[in-house]
């Protein structure tokens, strides 16, 4: 069983029983050792007393060399439990008399009692051997030898261990029952708290509360703190719900305002397209007729002024078209599908070659990974980038425009590169601002809205666009296309 994965009630029960069992085993071992030592000391004391008694009763027999009397005195030891053999030695260490069992053929060698001691004892081969001096009038006249087995002590230890095991088992059963009863007062509130937390997590219902235990202890403090935390969470949840509802209402209102603004912008765009284009077309048409019919009557300065009117009207028309495209980019609903960017760039390059076949320009168009995007918007953006490169390489011999892609930090980065006029890198931030031009209109014509339109298109696709360049060193425009915005995407 994995104790760490068990329930707290089971762990408390097991810990209580294990601690009790360990304490009982240690106590049993201690008492067993104490009984073993005490039993041996008691046996030694008993044999010592018997040896002293035999020695006192055998002093006369040794003095008068009465072997029979000494043997009779030793015979009394046969009735002593555990005594295997016994003997009396004279002062020269020679065996004077002995008694032993029928099967005992052990040769007795009398140990020497050190000077100053009355007796010695030792345990060897499962037997206790004791030698005690026999004194008469302060002089040693012999010694008593007693050899006893330890079977009685072994039987005593066995009985003691049996009793200890029975007591241990009974104590463990009692401890287990007591642990079951006592752990409930500790584990039940914690188990109830865990169940409440599990139910709250599953249902996200913060109105539930854990039941408080009757006792005022640490567990009661824990349960109280848990309930207070639930109160705080419930209060904050209510505040968040109210704030969310308020935010949703504000978003709805702002969305309505945005829809109205877009409609007004569309109406304004229509007005610009219809009402302003009419006068511009009239200016262009009448100036053309004036130049055709009365151009010969005008002097050179007048003809030049009339031609300027026509070119500025045309430039105004282009500016209106660019502004309309910029406004449409901001309001058009994105329709995403898989777009072959290489094919789009290929068609743009072909159209530019058709418009001006005299240009000495090389297009290098790599096969790039397809992208999930709005094809119409990306076509507008790529056309602005390619036309931008076309325009700024118009004064470059052997012009080159390159389109490709590379991997950076796990993302696909597309680029349009040219070897044209380039730009001052210190003014890079001005590139994508409407009506901001880094070259004069006399040098390179344009409205300054094209790159701003490209940035708006890339922003609508959650991408990023940036540029690198140097004066007369060409320019590179990089861009990425991000994931779709669910709220602004129309399924294709």
Would you say residue 40 has pLDDT above 80? yes
pTM for this prediction: 0.43
Does 400 reside within a domain?
yes
**CATH number for the domain harbouring residue 439:** 3.30.565.10
Of 131-140, 177-186, 229-238, the poorest mean pLDDT is in 177-186
Q: Running DSSP on this structure, what letter comes out for residue 104?
A: -
Residue 84: phi, psi to the nearest 5?
Answer: -90, -45
Question: What confidence score (pLDDT) does residue 488 get?
Answer: 44
Q: What is the CB-side half-sphere exposure of residue 476 using CA atoms within 13 A?
A: 9
The reported pLDDT for the residue numbered 491 is 44
The predicted pLDDT at position 487 comes to 46
Q: Return the H-helix or E-strand segment holding 336.
A: strand 334-339
Checking if the pLDDT of 441 tops 70, the result is: no
* Cβ atoms within 10 Å of 202's Cβ, excluding its own: 8
User: Tokens for 35?
Assistant: 């009984």
Asked which of 170, 202, 232 is the last residue of a domain, the reply is 170
Among 141, 170, 199, give the residue marking a domain's end. 170
Percent of the chain whose pLDDT exceeds 70: 78
Averaged pLDDT, 49-58: 88
Q: Is 308 domain-assigned? A: no
pLDDT at position 364 is: 93
For residue 421, the model assigns a pLDDT of 84
Band (pLDDT 50/70/90 cuts) for residue 186 is: low
* Host domain of residue 29: 3-170
pLDDT tens for each residue of 258-304: 767 666 666 666 666 566 666 767 777 777 777 777 767 777 787 77
What distances in angstroms separate CA 180 from CA 10, 73, 185, 378, 404, one per listed residue?
9, 64, 10, 74, 76
Q: Is the pLDDT of residue 415 over 90?
A: yes
Is residue 416 domain-resident?
yes
pLDDT at 492 over 50: no
Model confidence at 412, pLDDT cuts 50, 70, 90, reads very high
Please give the share of the chain, as a percent, with pLDDT higher than 90.
Answer: 11
Examine residue 415 and state whether it is found in any structural domain, yes or no.
Answer: yes
Mean pLDDT calculated for residue range 178-202: 72
Domain boundary, last residue among 119, 138, 170? 170
pLDDT of 92 above 70: yes
| In 39-90, beta strands by DSSP E | 83-90
Residue 98 CB burial class (10 angstroms; 0-12, 13-18, ≥19): middle
Instruction: Report the domain count for the chain.
Output: 2
**What is the DSSP track for 447-466?**
-S-HHHHHHHHHHHTT--EE
User: Is 230 contained in some domain?
Assistant: no
pLDDT at residue 376, rounded to an integer: 85
Residue 185 belongs to a domain: no
For the ranges 102-111, 300-309, 347-356, 407-416, the lowest mean pLDDT is seen at 102-111
Please list the residues that pair with 339 across neighbouring strands: 371
Out of 223-232, 328-337, 434-443, 460-469, give the one with best mean pLDDT. 460-469
101-to-6, 247, 389 alpha-carbon distances in Å = 63, 109, 127
| pLDDT top residue among 161 and 340 | 340
pLDDT recorded at residue 384: 87
Whichever domain contains 91, its CATH number is 3.30.450.20
Report if residue 263 sits inside a domain: no
**pLDDT for the residue 366:** 93
pLDDT of residue 184: 62
Q: Is residue 283 part of a domain?
A: no
């Amino acid at each position: 069983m994995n104790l760490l994965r068990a329930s707290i009630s089971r762990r408390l029960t097991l810990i209580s029983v294990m601690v009790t069992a360990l304490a009982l085993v240690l106590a049993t071992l201690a008492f067993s050792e104490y009984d073993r030592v005490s039993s041996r000391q008691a046996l030694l004391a008993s044999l010592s007393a018997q040896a002293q008694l035999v020695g006192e009763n055998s002093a006369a027999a040794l003095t008068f060399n009465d072997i029979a009397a000494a043997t009779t005195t030793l015979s009394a030891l046969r009735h002593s439990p555990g005594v295997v053999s016994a003997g009396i030695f004279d002062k020269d260490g020679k065996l004077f008399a002995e008694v032993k069992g029928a099967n005992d053929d052990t040769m007795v060698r009398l140990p020497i009692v050190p000077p100053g001691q009355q007796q010695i004892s030792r345990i060897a081969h499962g037997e206790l051997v004791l030698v005690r001096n026999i004194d008469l009038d302060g002089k040693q006249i012999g010694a008593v030898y007693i050899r006893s087995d330890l079977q009685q002590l072994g039987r005593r230890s066995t009985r003691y261990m049996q009793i200890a095991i029975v007591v241990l088992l009974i104590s463990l059963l009692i401890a287990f029952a007591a642990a079951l009863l006592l752990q409930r007062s500790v584990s039940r509130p914690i188990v109830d708290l865990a169940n409440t937390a599990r139910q709250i997590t599953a249902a996200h219902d913060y109105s539930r509360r854990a039941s408080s235990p009757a006792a005022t202890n640490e567990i009661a403090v824990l349960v109280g703190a848990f309930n207070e935390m639930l109160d705080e969470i419930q209060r904050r949840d209510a505040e968040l719900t109210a704030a969310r509802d308020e935010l949703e209402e504000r978003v709805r209102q702002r969305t309505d305002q945005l829809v109205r603004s877009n409609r007004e912008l569309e109406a304004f765009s229509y007005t610009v397209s219809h009402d302003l284009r009419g006068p511009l077309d009239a200016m262009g048409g009448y100036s053309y007729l004036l130049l055709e019919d009365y151009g010969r009557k005008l002097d050179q300065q007048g003809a030049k002024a009339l031609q300027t009117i026509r070119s500025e009207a045309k430039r105004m028309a282009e500016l209106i078209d660019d502004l309309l495209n910029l406004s449409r980019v901001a309001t058009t609903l994105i329709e995403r599908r898989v777009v072959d960017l290489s094919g789009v760039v290929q068609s743009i390059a072909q159209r530019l070659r058709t418009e001006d076949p005299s240009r000495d320009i090389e297009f290098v168009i790599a096969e790039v990974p397809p992208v999930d995007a709005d094809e119409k918007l990306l076509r507008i953006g790529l056309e602005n980038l390619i036309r931008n490169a076309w325009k700024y390489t118009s004064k470059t011999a052997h012009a080159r425009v390159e389109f490709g892609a590379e991997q950076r930090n796990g993302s696909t980065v597309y680029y349009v590169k040219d070897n044209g006029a380039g730009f001052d890198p210190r003014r890079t931030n001005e590139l994508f601002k409407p009506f901001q031009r880094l070259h004069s209109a006399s040098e390179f014509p344009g409205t300054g809205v094209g790159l701003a339109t490209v940035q708006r298109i890339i922003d609508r696709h959650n991408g990023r666009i940036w540029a690198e360049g140097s004066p007369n060193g060409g320019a590179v425009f990089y861009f990425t296309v991000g994931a779709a915005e669910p709220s602004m995407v129309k399924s294709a």
